[in-house]
Structure 1
């Protein structure tokens, strides 16, 4: 049977079974508390068409966030090798050959995205967060530049007091330690976490090691709250490089071999050394009955060394900034008004030195650049609610300035890039009908080129890149049954993106970027969840969720040199993805998590001449959790990729010479144990 037919049958079967379960439900089932988020300052039950939370306990190994993030329809997280992440929210990985770009990321209100538009998401370890909230679609009306979405990471600042220790190991000599402690006294809370991760990796030249430390402290008094946070990460991971189809089929575990004048990945120890530290303070205060203010100031520093096939790059990237928001909230009978206005600013000064690579060490200097980047955003938004209607209108004014100075060429000249006067509005209308809730959204997003796009790994500054921008339209229907225990949701969207930035790769694997005219992104996202608690019998509770995304992304008008790509499919985005999860817990403490994920084939270049095949992944986790007085014990074992699929995760799009493929691990196993001591 055809792959798409199988997917649709699975989806239809799941929805009908959820409906049948709803019809048979009894009054004894406990109510599930609705999810509440703070995105866009809307302090009410979230419309899950635009946000989704990743819970603290994943359905797979805690060694990677990939499985947990891929449970969200429209979100695709990829791992080219251990420690090398990409995040795609509705197609945004077009601009991310590696790392996370064009997606704004905040950790407890502190921006992890630097003013140049890059985010070192791999600095985060598993115990750095309680949950992750993902906003799909442009977030420029409140969070500055970006067309690819928003990720809000909630740090472990408000855990119950106690100590926790966890160790787990797995295939490819993987070893992981997670430790945390929380102390609470009166209105003062301290939380400290430590994580150690290391693995030899499935492929040659794919070992990684990371040490991570975080500290969060919170003090509350009268109508004020002060939070201080520190996040430090020391990460080393090897980069095996992409393979051609022939190399991938012959030996998917191999690293990129020597080709012509370019050495192999192992020969020059292709790897990244990355140290990052971020510290910030947030102050919240209420003024009377209606007004409040939240102000955050932060500083960050990244030291990155990259031994690549083409060259050896060294970057020092300090940046700092702040965000302040004034909120007004008042209710009159059945009417309420929320109004927020504020500003966010960031400033960074980077030095980027690129040298010849001699056996994994820097040699003759190629370029020496100083980069100054400043950006700021002014925003305001109002939310008016009356009975079953909610109206939201917001707008931001954004400006950024990028300055390059190449110090090794005389006379030293400066190149200045300005992206000014970009206004980004957002409008939503929510109507709560008896059959279902309907939400309509119109928003505009814009995103200037990042530092890594204007100055890519070819070291050639591209002065011709333009900011991408576009209008997004979407509508969501949401239905909750059985006091919220059964939730069904469907979202359709259309995003018309102009001057879209896309990535190319030359024969050495170096990336460069170009504007691709217009892209029409049309899609459908479906979500269903069902939860049942059992007061009698062996089962304690059952959770079933399903997420499906259909992405119809095509170039509308894209001509580059003699090549015409108008009407072609956008590469790197599967047309269909489906995730289904089952979580069953028995009263004695035995539990199991089953996670299934499938993605259709993807085109690998703009010409649509090559494509990577579809794949199906199944993971099963079995564990035992027991509470003994103040001590909780958790033991578990699991297997990922049970079907033993050979597939590529994190393809190199538009790569020269057909070097598209980064092999993911086949069937692999893990085993772990955790203990938590709670204090009164």
Structure 2
């Protein structure tokens, strides 16, 4: 049925440009789009920033299936997002998933300037729908000098464009595995005072057995410009997420039936019999205030409160977590301009506090029974930071920053034989960063940087799903050396960026899994992480006054040589082995074509090298190639309404591969199979109030 629907849609799309009565307004500029970076409080063009930063804008997000951000992030060098089952995400920036059995750890995430990573170190990125994201900035490598503790990097997510267009946005899409996605958004007001209301409902039966998913997200965002000096904005989000967890498969199970969920084994029930799943609800509200004291000095401050409630029946127990937390961040920016020089100084602080509770029960077919453990968790993390950026004559720039960080986790066990209080505190860790750049030609910037990263173990690592408290874990830290260039050529139609890094990480925290699939963590000595990340984008056409108005080729490549430098477990020496879960080479490439009548096509290819699955490197996930594409017709229906009809296919060659391997899994239960060939299609309408188009 889905294939028939797709063929009909493609036929309609092929005829649509001929039948179109009204053409869309098009940008006739032949050069690549100017990208402004807000990371490190730079507010400068991407090509002028001396850091490895990738910006994923709306156009890059919209070229895929509009259900999640995974494919757009995986086209980014140095970044790899995984989906173990629908709704279960992991985000890898330069090896950060070493600590992530699920979710996002060791990466600091902000949403509309609000800390989205909780004080325990977890980020529930799956509580955001695709439609809660307008742009993403990915900071690769240690960003602790301005964004607190973390060795993996930082992600800045913005939900709204700088210029709002009042109106109504509606979209519906459907696809393979009975996937359905509905989004409605209403934007009222203007750039002085606006309100945005949004709601998304998404469901899927999933590719594997026992992978049903449902997500509902409601948001309200407001922006008030009181006067030329101050602006106030607020973001409120409520997310209700449910997804089944099928569990990892052994190589034999994976080869016999890759779509299966974990079967019963010994004393452990199957994932289906245990009704293994995640029930997750999150409420978050944050207020952002910007105030300009003078032409040279301004402040941005954020305060927020959040509450998450998680229920997680597994094959070994049933876990309930309540996680209320609050926090804030304030940044002062001072700017001074001279004839050929300028100085910007940013300073401030960030703090978060959580009062969590985690209870584990026996699991009786998906229902809790006898209490096994009951833990109160008091956690906090604070940081203070300062950064200066000096731009000198001769196109030289120097950036220097440092932060000081403190964190603490106190766990009070309320039940059982081992009741009492245990505290792990990590004090006064300094995280400096220095970068220097030189524009040696009008289109060529060279830069280099040295930074130190610091990341204490999070709450879920001190108290993992084994329910065994481990206060012996130490914070990981390391020094990152980086150099690269950014260039614009051929009248700014060709953009090329290459950066190389060498990261020495000590006390690296790595994930283990026991026979039941529960995770626990160890410090793994030291690692040496070397890599080269490159990307290029080329605007094919010198002008857009033709049938094809825009055509772009792009490609990215990541080379990672990540090795254990000094790591022994009892008498076993893993020194020199490849870090598990990280492919040595990944590549992505694509072509985007848009025509003046409104028809467009986006084609994408992705390749991953084989990946080690354990510290011993005795088991490997095979390499794989993926190909897919989207085509559609976008046109104006009158002056105020834009329609977009689209259809597409992912994994067109039906490749069997695992996306989100459970590394170091006992019993070799590594594999979480990704979907085979799958199709999607949909329609969207954008109605603009008072539009003059």
Contact kept in structure 2, 1:156 and 1:191, CA below 8 Å: no
- Per the alignment, residue 650 of structure 1 pairs with 660
- Choose the corresponding residue for 1:418, options 403, 425, 432: 425
Q: CA deviation at 1:149?
A: 0.7
Match of 1:260 among 257, 266, 282: 266
1:93 partnered with 2:97? yes
Summarize the alignment of residues 566-577 of structure 1 with structure 2, pairs less than 5 Å apart: 566-577=575-586
1:494 aligns with 2:502: yes
Structure 2 CA distance for aligned equivalents of residues 300 and 486 of structure 1: 44
1:111 is matched with which residue: 115, 118, 142?
115
Spell out, residue by residue over 1:523-543, the C-alpha distance to the aligned partner (whole angstroms, 9 max, x if none). Answer: 011110112453332101012
Measured after TM superposition, the shift of residue 643 of structure 1 is: 1.3
How far apart, CA to CA, are the structure 2 residues paired with 1:316 and 1:87?
Answer: 23
Contact 1:157-1:217 at 8 Å conserved across structures? no
1:201 aligns with 2:206: yes
Q: Which residue of 2 aligns with 1:46?
A: 46
Q: Give secondary structure in 2 for the equivalent of 1:260.
A: coil
Tell me, in whole angstroms, the C-alpha distance in 2 between the residues paired with 1:546 and 1:184.
Answer: 40
Match of 2:414 among 404, 407, 420: 407
Offset from partner CA, 1:212-233 (integer Å, 9 cap, x none): 0111100012210000110110
Q: Tell me by how many angstroms 1:178 deviates.
A: 1.2
Farther-moved stretch of structure 1 (324-333 vs 149-158): 149-158
For 2:538, which of 497, 513, 530 is the aligned residue? 530
* Mapping 1:126-275, distance limit 5 Å: 126-156=130-160, 158=162, 159-185=164-190, 187-222=192-227, 223-275=229-281
Question: Paired residue for 1:447, among 455, 467, 475?
Answer: 455
Post-superposition Cα deviations, 1:533-554, rounded to whole Å, max 9, x if no partner, equal 5333210101221110000000
Task: Show the counterpart of 2:11.
Answer: none
Query: What SS does the corresponding residue of 1:119 show, helix, strand or coil?
Result: coil
Unaligned runs of at least 5 residues, structure 2: 1-27
Aligned equivalents of 1:229, 1:514: Cα separation in 2: 38
* Secondary structure of the corresponding residue to residue 300 of structure 1: strand
CA contact (8 A) 2:30 2:539 kept: no
SS in 1 for 2:189: strand
2:400 is matched with which residue: 393, 404, 411? Answer: 393
Unmatched tracts of structure 1, length 5 or more: 1-27
Bigger mean CA deviation after superposition, 157-166 or 44-53: 44-53
Give the conservation status (yes or no) of the 8 Å contact 1:157–1:190.
no
Q: Aligned partners of 2:409 and 2:527: how far apart in 1?
A: 26
| Secondary structure of 1:105 counterpart | strand
Conserved 8 A contact 2:286-2:303? yes
Which of these residues, 669, 674, 678, is aligned with residue 679 of structure 2? 669
Q: Which moved more, 1:479-488 or 1:218-227?
A: 479-488
State the match for 2:72 in structure 1: 68
Answer yes or no: is 1:637 the counterpart of 2:647: yes
Pair 1:514 & 2:516 matched? no
Q: In the alignment, which of 283, 290, 293 is matched to residue 277 of structure 1?
A: 283
Number of residue pairs aligned between Structure 1 and Structure 2: 653
1:464 deviates by 1.0
Q: CA deviation at 1:29?
A: 5.7
Q: Which residues in structure 2 correspond to 1:275-424 (within 5 Å)?
A: 275-387=281-393, 388-409=395-416, 412-424=419-431
Q: Distance in 2 between matches of 1:276 and 1:204?
A: 27
Q: Is the 8 A contact 2:372 2:416 kept in 1?
A: no
2:485 alignment partner, SS class: strand
Give distance in 2, aligned partners of 1:557 and 1:106.
Answer: 34
Is the 8 Å Cα contact of residues 137 and 156 (structure 2) preserved in structure 1? yes
Structure 1 residue 502, shift from structure 2 partner: 0.2
Contact 1:157–1:218 at 8 Å: present in 2 too? no
Task: Output the CA distance in 2 between the equivalents of 1:320 and 1:485.
Answer: 45
Q: CA deviation at 1:88?
A: 0.3
In the aligned structure 1, how far is the partner of 2:545 from the partner of 2:188? 37
For residues 208 and 302 of structure 2, what CA distance do their matches in structure 1 show? Answer: 42
Deviation for aligned residue 1:155: 1.2
Q: Secondary structure of the equivalent of 1:100?
A: coil
Is 228-237 or 474-483 further displaced after alignment?
Answer: 474-483
Distance 1:402 1:188, change over 3 A: same
State how far apart, in whole Å, the 2-side matches of 1:156 and 1:655 are.
40
What is the alpha-carbon distance in structure 1 between the residues aligned to residue 481 and residue 676 of structure 2? 39
Aligned pair in 2 of structure 1 residues 413, 523: CA closer, same or farther (>3 Å)?
Answer: same
Instruction: Provide the residue aligned with 1:660 in structure 2.
Output: 670
Query: Structure 1 residues 507 and 554 mapped into 2: Cα distance closer, same or farther (>3 Å)?
Result: same
> Residue in 1 aligned with 2:35?
35
Q: Which of 613, 616, 631 is residue 625 of structure 2 equivalent to?
A: 616
Q: 2:476 touches 2:508 (CA, 8 Å); kept in 1?
A: yes
- Which residue is 2:21 aligned to? none
Q: What is residue 559 of structure 2 aligned with on the other side?
A: 550
Offset from partner CA, 1:532-583 (integer Å, 9 cap, x none): 4533321010122111000000000000112210010000000000000111
- Output the CA distance in 2 between the equivalents of 1:147 and 1:199: 34
**Aligned mates of 1:101, 1:123 — CA distance in 2:** 15
CA contact (8 A) 2:376 2:411 kept: yes
Secondary structure in structure 1 of the residue aligned to 2:77: coil
| RMSD of aligned residue pairs (Cα, Å) | 1.2
SS in 2 for 1:69: helix
Q: Secondary structure at the match of 1:205?
A: coil
Distance 1:103 1:288 in 2: 34
Distance 1:338 1:147 in 2: 25
Following superposition, the deviation at residue 511 of structure 1 comes to 0.4
Give how far 1:185 is off. 4.1
Q: What is the TM-score normalised by the length of structure 2?
A: 0.93
- How far did residue 410 of structure 1 move? 6.0
Larger deviation, residues 333-342 vs 148-157: 148-157
Distance 1:536 1:480 in 2: 23
Shift of 1:186: 6.4
8 Å CA contact retained: 1:591, 1:622: yes
